[in-house]
Structure 1
Amino acid sequence: MITLFNMWHYIVILVVTLLYAGGVIGALKQPVKKLRVPMIISFSLIMLLVAGFALVTVDKYTKKVELYKFDNKRLLSIEKIVYTGIVKNEGNYEIGEVTLEIKIVNKAREMGKRASFFTPSGFADFFSGGANILYRPQNIVKTFVVAKNLKPGEAKSFRIYFDYPPYFKNVSQFAKVYGH
């Protein structure tokens, strides 16, 4: 995953590094020598967790991307579906990678077929590899990188092709876009 840091990422890294340095110095000043190493390890793990959450939070609130003119067309001759659209950076910072997640759900229940959305798995599937020829998934999730290095205010168009299951009848489609 390619990601671009902005000034807020560097500020978070600086604050976490200063807190970590203060914690390590405090642990080294501990009069009981047996507690120094466990304190440093504990503080390292806590700061690593804080840094991870802080960087993800900064990413979420500084990298804003929107999806426009999202459309699909089904190509019956080759059993594929084509998605087209435009992604635009609505934030004030550059986005390294824009990811589009498309979820297609078959609503065969409304057609009276009573298809099961639950696929049982058990002990036997672990050894058989789960290779069931009759299994037809009722929902499909695909993820695509649709743009890279979007400047603030910049927009890019995209086109995605992927296989469309021929047994899908009445379909619901959901799309989410993420900036990293």
Structure 2
Amino acid sequence: MTLLNYWHFISFGVIFIIFVGGVLSALKQESAKIKFGMLFSVTLISIFFAVFSVLVVDKYTKVVKLHKLKNKRLLSTEKIIYTGIVRNEGNHDIGKVTFEIKLVNKGHATGNVKGGNFYKSSGFMDFFGGGYNLNFKPQSITKEFVVATNLKPGEAKSFRVYFPFPPYFRSVSQFSKVWGH
């Protein structure tokens, strides 16, 4: 759940005024079919705008930055550890900070090129067989972690996450993202 700030309440107020105006204009209609259709439409549009406004306000008021991201591979346990610091650089509280890391195997950089590295076909037989292929090794993995909760404006918090590292990965590219809710 996201923490609400005054921009959320302003947008909810505007949407509520539009909703009330739509309901009042629907109730003035004489035909029951038109009245029901207008009430349904106004309700549906208001709900859509409310959800959309939460997403937009969160995007522009909750600013999180990632600092000092480092990784370390533990060969004995075949895991990789990511450490870093997330900082709330906005003016509003953030309820939950999510860190996403994507690892992409660059087999083509080491000369290990196979057709399945770039394209995995899914066909008619996968529907019946469940798509299980024991020889298939995914060439990219994406993991998401909640690394901080209830960050105040200007507050920073260090984090450490770890997950299994595929032993067949060579020359790995990493892509990281962080966002707040």
TM range (shorter): over 0.9
Residue 96 of structure 1 is matched in structure 2 by 95
Residue 104 of structure 2 is matched in structure 1 by 105
Q: Report how far residue 131 of structure 1 moved.
A: 1.3
Task: Extract structure 1 runs of 4+ deviating beyond 4 A.
Answer: none
Q: Report how far residue 68 of structure 1 moved.
A: 0.4
Q: Quick one: distance in 2 between partners of 1:33 and 1:145?
A: 49
- Residue identity matched to 1:33: A
Q: Quick one: distance in 2 between partners of 1:60 and 1:13?
A: 16
Q: Report how far residue 32 of structure 1 moved.
A: 2.8
CA root-mean-square deviation: 0.9
Q: Quick one: distance in 1 between partners of 2:97 and 2:127?
A: 35
Q: Report how far residue 64 of structure 1 moved.
A: 0.3
3-state DSSP of counterpart to 1:77 = coil
Q: Report how far residue 127 of structure 1 moved.
A: 2.0
Q: Report how far residue 147 of structure 1 moved.
A: 0.2
Q: Quick one: distance in 2 between partners of 1:173 and 1:65?
A: 19
2:138 matched to 1:137? yes
Residue 157 of structure 1 is matched in structure 2 by 158
Count of residue pairs brought into register by the alignment: 179
Q: Quick one: distance in 2 between partners of 1:152 and 1:114?
A: 47
Deviation string 1:18-60 (CA, Å, 9 cap, x unpaired) is 1101101110101333200011111111111111211110000
Residue 74 of structure 2 is matched in structure 1 by 75
2:51 matched to 1:52? yes
Identity of paired residues, percent? 57
Residue 10 of structure 2 is matched in structure 1 by 11
- TM (norm. structure 1) is 0.96
Q: Quick one: distance in 1 between partners of 2:84 and 2:172?
A: 19
2:40 matched to 1:31? no
3-state DSSP of counterpart to 2:118 = coil
Q: Quick one: distance in 2 between partners of 1:159 and 1:132?
A: 33
Q: Quick one: distance in 2 between partners of 1:75 and 1:130?
A: 31
145-154 or 115-124, larger mean C-alpha shift: 115-124
Deviation string 1:112-162 (CA, Å, 9 cap, x unpaired) is 111322111122112222111000000000000000000000000000010
Q: Quick one: distance in 2 between partners of 1:117 and 1:67?
A: 30
Unaligned stretches of 5+ residues in structure 2? none
Residue 119 of structure 1 is matched in structure 2 by 120
3-state DSSP of counterpart to 2:168 = coil
- TM (norm. structure 2) is 0.96
Residue 63 of structure 1 is matched in structure 2 by 62
3-state DSSP of counterpart to 1:131 = coil
- Residue identity matched to 1:147: A
